[in-house]
Each structure stands twice: as C-alpha cells, then as structure tokens.
Structure 1
Amino acid sequence: MERRSEAARSRGGRDRRSPFDRFVEQAELRVSQAPFFFLCAGIVAAWLISLPWWTDLKTWQVAIHTVASVFTLLLVVLLENAGRRASESAQEKLNVIADALAALLTSSASSDPELRAAADRLREAVGLEERQ
C-alpha cells in the first residue's frame, strides 16, 4: 500500500529513510489497526484460559505481566519515534509555508513598512526552531 502523496512521488530520488525508520513506519501502521488489537485480546484470552495448566497463581500472573511489559516498552519506543518524525515533518512543512509567505510579503512590501516589518518578524519566527 503506497501512502506517499503525489508531491512526494514527484520529488523522485531514492528513499533516504534508514531501515529502522521504514520498520517503525510499518510497525506504526500495523499496531494502529484492528487486527493487532484482536491479536492482543487473543493473547489475554489465551492467558486467562491457561490458568488450569499453571501450578502457581503468582507465576501465572508474572507471565502475563512480563510479556505485557516487554511489548509495552517496545511499542512505546517505536511509537515515540514515529511521533517525533511526524512532528519534525510537520514543522518542516510549516517552515516552508512560512518562508514562502515571508517571501511573498517581502515582494509586496516595497511601499508598506508595516508589511515589511511583518515579513521580518515571520522570518525571525521561522528561525526559532533552529536555535532551540
């Protein structure tokens, strides 16, 4: 399933994402769909049904807690990575839009000092992310 926009496809070139980034994208796609939820629910159901085969109730509880903790840690790391990349992508797009707007304001501001000042403030605001 190709999720790239027409603009992204028109840029051409090779995919500069690392194998890990591509893995994170696929993992995010899979865990956000219903089959993954039902898989998790099935694991919990199997765990509940397995109670008679465990000799110790505490061991039975530790088994699900360990599995859940490991999966939770892995999913949190993957989803945080995906969220960070999405945030950076959105910020880059906003910076490009603001830069284009500042250029438009500058080209129209030859006789309007207020418009020129607004363009300067916009250009300064776009640079704030780079300084932090």
Structure 2
Amino acid sequence: MQHTPAAESRKGGDRRSPFDRFVEWSHSKASQAPFFFVCAGIVVTWLISLPLWTDLKEWQTAIHTVPSVVTLLLVVLLENASRRADEAAQEKLNVIATALAALMASNADTDPDLRKAAHALRDAAGLEERH
C-alpha cells in the first residue's frame, strides 16, 4: 500500500498542542446532552433559589455574570474547533481535486476541453491560499 504525505503525518502520533487537545475535548463535551442538562440544572437551581436572596438585582446578577463568562470562553473554543475542522475539510478537498486534475491530465492528450478543465481544477484547488 502506498503511503501519501497525509498518511505519513498521521503515523507520527498526536502532535497537537495541549491547547488544541483541550479545544477538541471541550468541543466534544459541550456538544453532548450531559452538558446541556448540567446547564439546564444550573438555571433551574437558580430559579428555585429566588426565595433565598434578599435583593432581586443580586439574584439576577448571579445568573448573568458566570454564564456570560462561560459563554465567551465556549464561543472562542468552539470557533477554534470549527476553524480547524474547516481547514481539514479544505485540505481533503484540495487533495481530491489535485488527484482528479492529475487523472484528467493523463487522459487530456486527445481532448483539449479536458486539458482546460484539468488546468482550471488545479487553479481552483489553490484558490483559498491566494485569498
């Protein structure tokens, strides 16, 4: 079996930074049902705790402050995970497009339209790197 550069890079093990591993772990946990139920439980506990608070503004501030900070952190982490997923998908598409262009070029000797299409596909595969 022929090993491609992508396959070779996977053989080296996990070379992600601790932050990247943390982002993946956070993304995995935040996108599952238990995380939702923990958040819903916090809100229900907050609602039930109303009689324990003497000041209504403090009660409202309690639910606004901590979730706002957690939301900000989660948005940043999830955007990071999304960006990396998009980059990985784009890399896969580029590899497929390059392979298809090579296949088209190998059969383009008799068909000038196929030669033009192969050239256009190769140009498109590197398009996102130029913008």
The reply to whether TM is greater than 0.5 is yes
Displacement, 1:14?
A: 2.3
Displacement, 1:117?
A: 0.6
AA of the residue aligned to 1:29: S
Unaligned runs of 5+ in 2: 1-5
Unaligned runs of 5+ in 1: 1-6
Q: Residue 97 in 1 paired to residue 99 in 2?
A: no
Aligned position for 2:84:
85
Between the aligned partners of 2:8 and 2:74, the Cα distance in structure 1 is 29
In structure 2, the CA distance between the partners of 1:68 and 1:55, relative to structure 1 (3 Å rule), is: same
Q: TM-score, normalised by structure 1?
A: 0.90
Q: How does 1:44-123 map to 2 (within 5 A)?
A: 44-123=43-122
Instruction: Count residues with an aligned counterpart.
Output: 126
Percent of residue pairs identical: 74
CA deviation string 1:45-87 (max 9, x = no partner):
1111111221100010011000110111011001101110110
Q: Indicate the RMSD between aligned Cα atoms, in angstroms.
A: 1.7
Aligned position for 1:3:
none
Aligned position for 2:124:
125
Aligned position for 2:31:
32
Between the aligned partners of 1:107 and 1:49, the Cα distance in structure 2 is 71
